Amino acid sequence: MKFETLCLHADLNKKDEWGTLNQAICQSATFVHKGVDVDSPYSYSRLSNPTRTHLENTVNALEGGYATYAFSSGMTAITVSMMLFKRGDHIISTYDLYGGALRLFNNVCNSNGIEYSFINTSDIDLLEKTIKNNTKAIYIETPSNPLMEVTDIRLVSDIAKKHGLIVIVDNTFLTPYYQKPLSLGADIVLHSGTKYLGGHNDTLAGFVVCKTKELSEKILYFSKTIGGQLSPFDCFLIERGIKTLPIRMDRINDNAYKVAEWLRGCNKIKKVFYVGFKDNKGYEIIKKQATGFGGMISIEVESEELAKKILKDVKIFQYAESLGGVDSLITYPMKQTHADLKKEEREAKGINERFLRISIGIENVEDLINDLKEAIYDWFR
């Protein structure tokens, strides 16, 4: 089956006694045993639940994994993946990382004895130099959040193999529709299913996709021990979102390209961070490893006043955190996703009071551009 079909029919095992077309929401914490020593497919929903199994099988097929586990948020998925490491282990990570992951690594995992080096993972020489005897994994986001830097997954995976490290890729931004890290050599793929997979800004979810039986047995053990699984109703919502993932991504991809081009031509915008520009330094790599550019654009505008004016005056774009849904959103990273960073660190990365991050939705693209024009220039008023 091709990707678009898999989004609807990847898990053909869902048939139940009623013949429901959609996987039924199985709202049960526990399951009745058929007898002592008689195998039952389900026993307790922290271990597994039919609605969740169906969703896990779907995401697993889309990413091409050995097994996938669904959690109550992207952060839960990231946290569970960190259980693979212990005191004294060292992990190399992209320096431009989702703010929540940074907070987890720096303030929680670090206190528990796991050491991190945050580097520009697109610099392969630097990556090799950063590997130490106790290095266990390389953790990347590509494109990164919010600077849109691209890391070569295949190259990083080759280096990791040479040194016996595992590669973890947060694939939230491009989704398996555009990028399949496991096929490029990664060992674990993480998702905030809250974003494009769910796609409607109505449900939090997270996924851990494992490439091997060995990794998946470990993650399953952590999952059943820790908890944090996605609830049956939320599984249903994410499953419903995934059915339209390809058509949403196509529209979002087209819209983002056009909005980025317009922003680049706008005299009030100093810099546009978008991976689809031919002169972007990650362009050749993203063309090689992905089939689309996604819907994320960051911009640096002329002044702090203009950044605030855009947030205040947009009508179709909403000033809200999150990304990846059908509605277009704008966030102010310094006040929101990256508010926890030290000021110097944040500014060194260019995340200042003039920096905005945009998530493009599925609206009509002319309406989106006009909304920005109006907010920036007060045109049409």
Ligand X SMILES: *Cc1c(COP(=O)(O)O)cnc(C)c1O
What is the contact surface with ligand X in residues (CB under 6 A)? 73-75, 98, 100-101, 141, 145, 170, 172-173, 192, 194-195, 204, 206, 323
Nearest distance in Å: CB 5, ligand X: 27
- Tell me whether residue 254 is one of the annotated catalytic residues: no
* Spatial CB neighbours of 249, under 8 Å, sequence gap ≥ 6: 175, 177, 178, 196, 292, 294, 295
For 96, the token pair is: 């431009």
Choose, from 11, 96, 152, 170, the residue flagged as catalytic: 170
For 36, the token pair is: 């002592």
Instruction: Judge if the upstream peptide bond of residue 143 is cis by omega within 30 degrees of 0.
Output: yes
Nearer to ligand X, 96 or 371 (CB): 96
Choose, from 42, 46, 103, 240, the residue flagged as catalytic: 46
Nearer to ligand X, 50 or 333 (CB): 333
Nearer to ligand X, 101 or 153 (CB): 101
Nearest distance in Å: CB 1, ligand X: 27
The rounded distance, in Å, linking the Cα atoms of 102 and 110 is 10
Give 3-state DSSP helix, strand, coil % of the chain, rounded to 5: 40, 15, 45
Nearer to ligand X, 177 or 262 (CB): 177
- Tell me whether residue 98 is one of the annotated catalytic residues: yes
Nearest distance in Å: CB 157, ligand X: 19
Instruction: Judge if the upstream peptide bond of residue 181 is cis by omega within 30 degrees of 0.
Output: no
Choose, from 14, 52, 195, 354, the residue flagged as catalytic: 195
Nearest residue (beta carbon) to ligand X:
74
Nearer to ligand X, 180 or 195 (CB): 195
Nearest distance in Å: CB 103, ligand X: 11
Q: What are phi and psi of 201, to 5 degrees?
A: 50, 35
- Tell me whether residue 170 is one of the annotated catalytic residues: yes
Residue 99's CB: how many other CB atoms inside 10 A?
18
Q: Do strands 115-119 and 90-94 pair parallel, antiparallel, or not at all (unpaired)? A: parallel
Nearer to ligand X, 190 or 285 (CB): 190
Residue 137's CB: how many other CB atoms inside 10 A?
21
Nearest distance in Å: CB 101, ligand X: 6
Picking from 186, 135, 137, 182, the residue whose alpha carbon sits closest to that of residue 157 is: 186
Tokens 């050599």: give the residue. Answer: 185
- Tell me whether residue 195 is one of the annotated catalytic residues: yes
Choose, from 98, 139, 257, 332, the residue flagged as catalytic: 98
Nearest distance in Å: CB 165, ligand X: 21
Q: What secondary structure letter does DSSP report for 231?
A: P
Beta strands in the chain (DSSP E): 67-71, 90-94, 115-119, 135-141, 166-170, 188-192, 206-210, 269-273, 296-301, 318-319, 329-331, 355-359
Q: Which residues are catalytic?
A: 46, 98, 170, 195
